[in-house]
Structure 1
Amino acid sequence: MKIHNFNAGPSILPKEVIRKSAQSVIDFNGSGLSLLEISHRSIDFLEIIEKTTCLVKQVMNLNDDYAILFLQGGASLQFSMIPYNLMDQEAAYLDTGFWAKNAIKEARKFGKVKILFSGKNQNYTHISKHYQIPCNVDYFHCTSNNTIVGTQMKIFPKTSVPIVCDMSSDIFSRKLNFCQFSLIYASAQKNVSSAGMTIVIIKKNILGKIKRNIRNIPSYMDYKIHIQNKSILNTPNVFSIYTSMLTLEWIKNKGGLSVLEKQNQHKAKLLYNEIDNNNLFENKIHEEDRSDMNVSFFLKDKKLEKEFNKMWKKENIVGLEGHRFLGGYRASIYNALPLESVQFLIEIMKEFERRHDRK
């Protein structure tokens, strides 16, 4: 039975990654041990973490100025770790949605936060491109993709200030000049791996600038200590790091980020075209800010929701419900989601229009 998985996260992963990771749980590399049983300080696991680190740098075209960390606590822990390590006096943030708002809330516990733009009054349906980053802030923080509403930053500002970016829901989905960022973080349950691990990509020269009389950083919250310990200060999420390695190999074998970007843009264009041309549905996001990862849409007549829900669920589509704060529908079309699933959803929407359009 074919399942069309539009879950926002944890979400669809490549089938071959699922198969290989599942086999590793039974018998890792013919060792007779499960991956879940091996020591995180064994040669086998050290090789996994080293290979995963190298793959991140290769896929993103990063040099050794950057350290790659595999931490726990999700992106939410990074909301605190970032100001702990980088905020001396004041930082600048964009408020582009729920997760950006949470990041701002945590940062305010460490110093002043300057909000350069907030989309709150427009229900986060638009991301401004017209804001100025003060040259005297410690860093600029943005969220590249709003998973809940379905917006995405298409361009990033040029500035001498370190750029920190939460890429949890669109990392590895498109080709960017990743060297423009000083710190990138992403919880792994979308385009990377199973839940329970967060990738932090950090330019090493931005660390160590907080004066100890301002803040004495606890060991687990200190990026420098994690770098020194190569992500195994404590027992890491062995399974999630291994699955990340397999996913990055899959990305590389697919042809890299340029190939995936074209595929993702094509899937998104098809789905947005259907929403725009279907008399029963609508998308509320400004066209230039529409996400290629999370496509939100609504029925113009809410009375039809029960019937539409019954229809798509019957056809083995899962994860199409909108976020609990927003309602409507959300199709998350991450890297591993095949074009076939998008086309299938479009056919369901067309058929629903044929049945219910009264115009």
Structure 2
Amino acid sequence: MKFIDEARIEVFGGRGGNGAASFRREKYIPLGGPDGGDGGRGGSVYAVADENINTLVEYRFVKRYQAEHGEKGHGADRYGKGGEDIELRMPVGTVLFDVESEQQVADLTQNGQRVLIARGGKGGLGNLHFKSSTNRAPRQFTRGEDGEQHVLRLELKVLADVGLLGMPNAGKSTFIRSVSAAKPKVADYPFTTLHPNLGVVRMTDTQSFVIADIPGLIEGAAEGAGLGHRFLKHLARTGILLHLVDIAPFDPAVDPVREARAIVDELKKYDEALYNKPRWLVLNKVDMLPAEDRDLTVSAFLEAYGWTHGAPDDRVDFDIETPRVFIISALTGEGTLELTRAIMRYLEIVRAARFEAERAAPPVIAATELASSIIRRNDA
């Protein structure tokens, strides 16, 4: 299925049914009085997150969604039937924006999450409601309200714990194939990855994390060059970024230091928040270097790059605030186990800290309890 991560749709809530102006007409009851029922409410439109969907391709072809209108009211105090709601199933990670106001309408982050995006109109009142001691035979009724209408922009941001950054052919797809069951396309030419790929890395039966691989960046990506800039948004939800660098390029004219700096510069231009995410440096394709030259090549790269965060072999314990560097070969698997173990350890520390922070947070008073306390204070 084609990967589509952006779409634009129109949603319409159903119109409420009109109220009825009717009078009771039965044999031997000449003055039956008003008995017009209310109109039914219009159907509403909901967005529902579904983990079994991973693309917005459906919304590229069908762009208009109209909920059912409510039925008008009837005599004999019969209310009109409400319109049927409709549910639009979208991938987990979809963000909905109102095109006119540019305000975020919903962020679908959990499977099964259900959000109202276009409310149906209320049904009109029948003449039964207008009966009074001075108006015994009312002919008034109200019409149903129109439903809400919105033009929405859908933007899919994949949910992953780890995001991969790097130039085309840095070995990102090979790496994700090496450590997970994902099978993205791999070839000896640039831009083999044309859309994001997700891979689940299982360390144990109870420990796992998700890696997102996006198309490679090139210099000028923030201004629209290449493909990667379109997919950088998919890294917005990740907890940590891995910056993969080809330490042994085939072309001797290619400077790995310059390419590594170019990626960081593009990241900063695109999104300051993304640039400030925790980011580890991963020097890949070490298998292409002669064994006797590896240490010298790595040291020369780190010195030229200006790396000041510690040695590559510092892998036993670490401060999560300190960026780290790893030397790997995604093709042979060398160094990948140490890297994935460090990622798992990092994520466990972050998750535990988040859990403790949530547990230590002050309890939230329910809205009803808060309202009751305000009323009691005012009464006092």
Which category of TM-score, normalised to the shorter sequence, fits these structures? under 0.3
Higher relative contact order (CA 8 A, sep 6+): 1
What TM-score, normalized by structure 2, do the two folds share? 0.23
TM-score by length of 1: 0.24
Choose between structure 1 and 2: higher helix proportion. 1
Which structure has the larger Rg over C-alpha atoms? Answer: 2
